[in-house]
Amino acid sequence: MRNVKKQQAVTLVIMLETLQHIDQSLFLAVNGWHSPYWDTFMYLFTNKLVWIPLYASILYVLIRNLNWRMVIFTIIAFALLVTVADQLCSSVLRPVFERPRPSHNPEIADIVHLVNGKRGGQFGFPSCHAANTFALACFVMLLFRNKTLSWFFMLWALVTCYTRAYIGVHYPGDLLFGTVVGFFAGILVYGIYRGCLRFHSLTDLLHYPQDRSRVEHQRPWHSTNLIFIAGVLTVIVFFLVSIWMRVN
């Protein structure tokens, strides 16, 4: 019986080492393909603050379609969403796994291509960026039920994950697990959001009955195309700024 358990433990260790080797090889392949132009573009894309126009467009659509009490309630849901996704990664899971980022791994730190010297904190598993972006993408898809927006936010989240490996701060495994955490947070918080709207005392306070058909029965939202336009225009600006910085 002991021999069987030892054999199972050895097999598990070998599997983990193999997965880590594959993860590291994939990271080096992504991180090793770079150029001055894409360094600039990826660094811009991965910055949270540059997406303020996108977030502002979501707020505008909420104001355009819901009464102000429901807008505030929905904003609180978005805040809870990001808090859950971010804290699950940074405060719960990272202290447990304590997996160093590629830039802090002594085996490969010297060959990691760091964009603008950004190294990140010591531990990177799972990725908070991946969790936050996929949580937002999941929540937006469930809230608006718009195919164009769903495709855009999925692509946005995927590219964001790619940039994290490109600039040298996360392994693909960090990003994959962060994606799982993000989807979990998105589904959980959306479930809480919809569940709260079933309490009559709260719905009366929020003046929810007049918005019920839009949120609960998935009536089309007005002006959602502005969210897509804001996102696309932001990416276009990244392309242009990257070209301008390379030329100058």
User: In which band, very low, low, confident or very high, does the pLDDT at 39 lie, cut at 50, 70 and 90?
Assistant: very high
Examine residue 53 and say whether the peptide bond preceding it is cis (omega within 30 degrees of 0): no
Task: Give the model's confidence band at 31: pLDDT under 50 very low, under 70 low, under 90 confident, else very high.
Answer: very high
- What is the model's pLDDT at position 12? 62
**Phi, then psi, of 66 in degrees rounded to 5:** -120, 160
Say what percent of the chain tops pLDDT 70. 92
Check residue 137 and give its pLDDT.
97
pLDDT at 4 over 60: no
CA distance 248 to 239: 14
pLDDT attached to residue 77: 97
Looking at domain 66-219, its CATH class is mainly alpha
SS3 123: strand
Plot region of 85 (φ>0 → left; ψ -120 to 50 → alpha; else → beta): alpha
Query: How many other C-beta atoms can be found within 10 angstroms of the C-beta atom of residue 147?
Result: 9
Reported as type and span, the H/E element at residue 155 is helix 147-166
- What mean pLDDT do residues 35-45 have? 93
> Mean pLDDT over all residues of the chain?
90
144-192 pLDDT, tens digit per residue, is 999 999 999 999 999 999 999 999 999 999 999 999 999 999 999 999 9
Mean pLDDT within 4-24: 73
Distance (Å, whole) CA 237 – CA 103: 29
Residue whose C-alpha is closest to residue 51's, from 132, 117, 106, 162: 132
Q: Is the pLDDT of residue 215 over 90?
A: no
pLDDT for the residue numbered 204: 80
Task: Quote the DSSP letter at residue 100.
Answer: B
**Do 230 and 56 form a contact (C-beta atoms < 8 A)?**
yes
pLDDT, residue 198, reads 84
pLDDT at 248 over 80: no
Q: Is the pLDDT of residue 131 over 70?
A: yes
Q: Which of 189, 198, 231 is nearest to 88 (CA)?
A: 189
pLDDT band at 46 (very low <50, low <70, confident <90, very high): very high
Q: Of the given ranges (114-123, 182-191, 202-211), which has the lowest mean pLDDT? A: 202-211
Confidence of residue 245 (pLDDT cuts 50, 70, 90): confident
pTM of structure? 0.91
Q: What is the pLDDT of residues 62-104, one digit of tens each?
A: 999 999 999 999 999 999 999 999 999 999 999 999 999 999 9
Tokens at 171, concatenated: 């392994």
Confidence check: pLDDT of 226 > 60: yes
Angle at 107 between CA 101 and CA 113, to 5 degrees: 60
State percent of the chain over pLDDT 90: 68
Check whether 13 has a pLDDT greater than 80: no
